[in-house]
Amino acid sequence: MGLGWDETVYVSQVGSHAPAAFFSAPRARGVPLLVAPIASWSSSTALLRVYLAVLSGLGLFVALRVWRGLFPMRVLAVAGALFATLWVTLFYGPQAMPNYWVAIGALACAGCFLRAQADRFDRAALWGVGLSAALMAWMRPTDAVYVTLPLLFLVVCVRRWWRPRLLVALVAGLVAGAGEWVVEAYVSYGGLAQRLSDGSKIQGGLGWNIAVGDQMRSLGGRVLCRPCTGAMPAPPVMLWWFALPVVAVLGAVIAVKARRGVNSLLLLACAATAAFPYLFMIGYAAPRFLLPVYILLAIPAADGLIHLLTAPRGAWRPVAVTLVTLGLAGHLAVQFVVLERTVHGTTVSHQDWADTATELHRLGVKPPCMLTGYEGVPIAFYAGCSSVDTDGHNANTTAGAIVRAGQRIPVGVLIAPGEKPPAYARTWETHRVGHLMVYVAPAVQRGGAT
């Protein structure tokens, strides 16, 4: 499938295929460290995908294993199957992206929290709380805070939940995971407040913004819905999204009657706080944003489904089994149709970047080189060049610096159809590459294309 835009940014931080891309304020260093065991010595995308697929499967197993004893094994098995067969899980599990790992950390953290609260001498659970909180903060510090808000509230504000060591483990994990991000804020971004402000601007300005409709539009396979316009997906594509919270609430009611209600209610609370910023505070959508929500709802939803299968008696039981089975079969069919369509479209767009990079090499824009302009970040990675911008979210240089670089190394400016090149590049040699126009600096003109 090739690496996506965000993936090229993360992988370039530790790989040798291309210079490190600009690391904007909202990003954290968790993903570069996650991929470093492969990306630091190999440029093979297939090898990286296999590594991440295996790792993501192990992560899901460990996160579910934490809940053994808190829920019946059949509930955990069904929960794992529900989460693992969502198209968004299958699509992002093998990708160098942070949201899946926030989801794994969220599920493990909530489970270890309940274990540590029930047994103050359970050191393994305390370590689990700290490590899973660190994993979330390592990947996305702000997401980690939202996920753990219910845990912090319980351990601080509810007397019978008060466990000093549990609070220390939770806070220490968050601090350890976010520590590098905070230090980097002061070193490279003008301070923590400035980095948070810059991150908010890049995400469109965080504030009250109902993005429920945006998330619904992304369910059809739009990996980034920005701006999020156009028609809604077909009803069968969205049905599971509405059914999941309903069945999860049903499962929580069942759990309360079975005297394990606190477990399900905690999962629902963490899912609600994790979902809040992406449903009500951001002006665009991506399906991966809600992965932590889906995994937290999976266990109570599995509990609810099993109840629907086993509660009816007599002649009603075959009817219930048939209806639930047909519903799940239809759900799986929809998930895999959306997955196949999304993978196909993504593969085509990423191949366009690779083809553009190949053509740039033919024109003489070869490493060491520099690219700027439309889709410059991923195309630069594929071409082995550095990527720069003079404005926008990835601004990291000036027009003068680009002109000076163009006198020493191959520099290309990528222009989208209908757009005009910047003033400094208007006299440069022009080439059409696919649907783009490329303006090549004088250094390449003097050396000649090869």
Give per-residue pLDDT as tens, 217-270.
999 999 988 887 888 999 999 999 999 999 999 999 988 887 778 999 999 999
> Are 28 and 132 contained in the same domain?
yes
Q: Output the CA torsion 48→27→348→419 (10° steps).
A: -150
The predicted pLDDT at position 417 comes to 86
435 found inside a domain: yes
Mean pLDDT value across residues 182-193: 94
The model's pTM is 0.94
Regarding whether 403 and 294 lie in a shared domain, the answer is no
Q: Which domain holds residue 364?
A: 350-447
**197/435 Cα distance (integer angstroms):** 35
Strand partners, 430: 439
Of residues 211 and 66, more confidently modeled: 66
Q: Does residue 445 register a pLDDT over 80?
A: no
The domain boundary residue, chosen from 258, 289, 311: 311
88 and 143 fall within a common domain: yes
> Is 339 among the domain residues?
no
**Are residues 34 and 99 both part of a single domain?**
yes
> Minimum mean pLDDT among 87-101, 127-141, 187-201: which range?
187-201
Q: How many domains does the chain have?
A: 2
Sequence-separated (6 or more) residues with CB below 8 Å from residue 288: 88, 92, 97, 99, 100, 223
pLDDT greater than 80 at residue 446: no
Q: For 54-81, what is each residue's pLDDT tens digit? A: 999 999 999 999 999 999 999 999 999 9
Per-residue model confidence (pLDDT) at position 449: 45
CB 292 within 8 A of CB 148: no
Rounded average pLDDT over 417-427: 91
Residue 324 located in a structural domain: no
366-379 confidence digits (pLDDT tens): 999 999 999 999 99
Residues 244 and 393 both lie in one domain: no
**Is 337 within the bounds of a domain?**
no
Do 225 and 94 lie in one domain? The reply is yes
Residue 366 lies in a domain: yes
Are 216 and 279 members of one domain?
yes
